[in-house]
Structure 1
Amino acid sequence: MKPLKPVFLKCAVQKYEWGKRGEESAAARIFSRNSGCPVEDKPYAELWMGTHDSGPSLVLFSGSSPDSKLLPLKEWLSQNPEVLGDRVVQRWGTDLPFLFK
């Protein structure tokens, strides 16, 4: 297995009504630092890291400039299944069997 460098993920945020508003929300503050988007005065409930279709993470290549290449984490995992390990790939394929919030 070739050694892989850590990858930078751009994560999704869910803005459910029950979330804390604006800067009061840790999810909003982390999302803002992760995405570069300003925090709005809206409810932020959950920060998602994973391959779920409703909020997939993106792998960022070539730094953090606007012209950097983004690749869906699901696609990156299918190209790099060794990061999951043989047992995970045998049981679930190259998709994540969980959603980290």
Structure 2
Amino acid sequence: MRKRNFNINVRVTEGEKKRLTRAAKRCGISLSEYLRKVGLNKNLTEKPSAKLYEAYSNISDLLRDFSTLDCRYIEIRLKEIKRKILSAYHEKKDADSSGDNENLGD
């Protein structure tokens, strides 16, 4: 890793700092790392929520054991997974409506 020994001071409003901090947290990285990546036009991806990761894990388990499972059990598990995915989606939708997706330059 490169040694980072230069500082850049940036002035932001309290609201901008909160939005930047939340955006960095959603990506699972520090605010400094987030600002470096944004400033250098690097790709950023949000880390999946715990609910979404759990749904993915449930799908993996279901696929692994698929040939040995009863159809009714599979149906029940798929409905549970569907609920988890919808719950994770609605959590994300609610978080996005809090102003995080506004233009930070305003």
Q: TM-score, normalised by structure 2?
A: 0.26
Larger radius of gyration: 2
Question: Quick check: which one's strand share is greater?
Answer: 1
TM-score by length of 1: 0.27
Give the structure with the larger helix fraction: 2
